[in-house]
Chain A
Amino acid sequence: MSTATMTLKLKIWRQADNTSKGSMKEYDLPGVSPDMSFLEMLDLLNENLVNSGNDPVAFDHDCREGICGMCSLMINGEAHGPQKLTTTCQLHMRSFKDGDTVVIEPFRAKAFPVHKDLMVDRSAFDEIIAAGGFISMNAGNAPDGNAIPIGKETADLAMDAAACIGCGACVASCENASAMLFTSAKLSQLALLPQGKAEAAERAQKMVKKMDELGFGNCTNAAECEASCPKGIELSNIARMNREFFKSSLSK
Chain B
Amino acid sequence: MASNTCSTGICGYLCSSIGKKQLMGVTAFLLIGFLKTHLLGNLLILGGRDLFNDYAHKLISLGNILIVAEVILLAIFLIHLFLAIALVWQNKKARPVKYHSKKRTGRGATFASDTMPYTGVVILVFIVLHLLNFKYGTYYEYELNGVIVRDLYQTVIEYFSNPLYTAWYVIAMIVMGIHLSHGVQSAFQSVGFRHARYTPIIKKIGCALSAGLTIGFSALSIYGYYISTIN
Is A182 interfacial (CB 8 A cutoff)? no
Q: Are A110 and B93 in contact (CB under 8 A)?
A: yes
Q: Are B113 and A220 in contact (CB under 8 A)?
A: yes
Interface size on B, residues (CB 8 A): 50
CA distance A223 to B106 in the complex (A): 10
CA distance A219 to B21 in the complex (A): 8
Is B193 interfacial (CB 8 A cutoff)? yes
Is A122 interfacial (CB 8 A cutoff)? no
Please classify the interface of chain B as helix (H, G, I), strand (E, B), loop, or mixed, using the class held by over half of its residues: loop
CA distance A142 to B54 in the complex (A): 77
Q: Are B108 and A212 in contact (CB under 8 A)?
A: no
Is B161 interfacial (CB 8 A cutoff)? no
User: Please, which residue of chain B has its CB at the minimum distance from the CB of A249?
Assistant: B13
The 8 Å CB contact of A177, one of B16, B91, B109, B195, is B91
Most buried by B among A74, A110, A220, A235: A220
Task: Tell me the minimal C-beta distance from B41 to chain A in angstroms.
Answer: 31
User: Please, which residue of chain A has its CB at the minimum distance from the CB of B87?
Assistant: A218
User: Please, which residue of chain B has its CB at the minimum distance from the CB of A84?
Assistant: B107
Is A57 interfacial (CB 8 A cutoff)? no
Q: Are B101 and A103 in contact (CB under 8 A)?
A: yes
Given contacts A224-B109, A242-B191, A245-B18, whether A215 and B103 have CB atoms under 8 Å apart is no
User: Please, which residue of chain A has its CB at the minimum distance from the CB of B83?
Assistant: A218
Q: What chain A residues lie within 8 Å of B193 (beta carbons)?
A: 239
The 8 Å CB contact of A225, one of B17, B20, B108, is B108
User: Please, which residue of chain A has its CB at the minimum distance from the CB of B196?
Assistant: A236
The 8 Å CB contact of A111, one of B94, B105, B194, B196, is B94
Is A243 interfacial (CB 8 A cutoff)? yes
Task: Tell me the minimal C-beta distance from B22 to chain A in angstroms.
Answer: 6
8 A Cβ contacts from B48-81 to A:
none
8 A Cβ contacts from A97-137 to B:
103, 105, 108-111
Is A195 interfacial (CB 8 A cutoff)? no
CA distance A111 to B96 in the complex (A): 10
Stretch in B4-12, B31-39, B136-144 with 4+ CB within 8 Å of A:
B4-12
Is A161 interfacial (CB 8 A cutoff)? no
Task: Tell me the minimal C-beta distance from B100 to chain A in angstroms.
Answer: 6
Number of A-B contacts (CB under 8 A): 148
CA distance A210 to B110 in the complex (A): 29
Task: Tell me the minimal C-beta distance from A230 to chain B in angstroms.
Answer: 12
Q: Are A208 and B113 in contact (CB under 8 A)?
A: no
**Looking at chain A, what size class is its interface with the partner chain?**
35 or more
Encoded as 1 (CB less than 8 Å from any B CB) or 0, chain A from 157 to 196 comes to: 0000000000000000101111010000000000000000
CA distance A111 to B95 in the complex (A): 8
Is A150 interfacial (CB 8 A cutoff)? no
CA distance A228 to B104 in the complex (A): 10
Binding site for B on A (CB under 8 A): 11, 13, 24, 74, 76-78, 84, 103, 105, 108-111, 173, 175-178, 180, 205, 208-209, 211-212, 215-228, 235-236, 238-243, 245-246, 249, 252
Q: Report, nearest first, the 3 A-B pairs whose CB atoms are least far apart.
A: A217-B94, A77-B103, A243-B192
In addition to A74-B102, A209-B16, A221-B189, 20 A-B residue pairs with Cβ atoms within 8 Å of each other are A74-B99, A74-B101, A78-B105, A84-B107, A105-B99, A108-B97, A108-B99, A178-B17, A208-B16, A208-B17, A217-B90, A218-B20, A219-B21, A222-B114, A224-B105, A225-B108, A228-B105, A235-B189, A236-B195, A236-B196
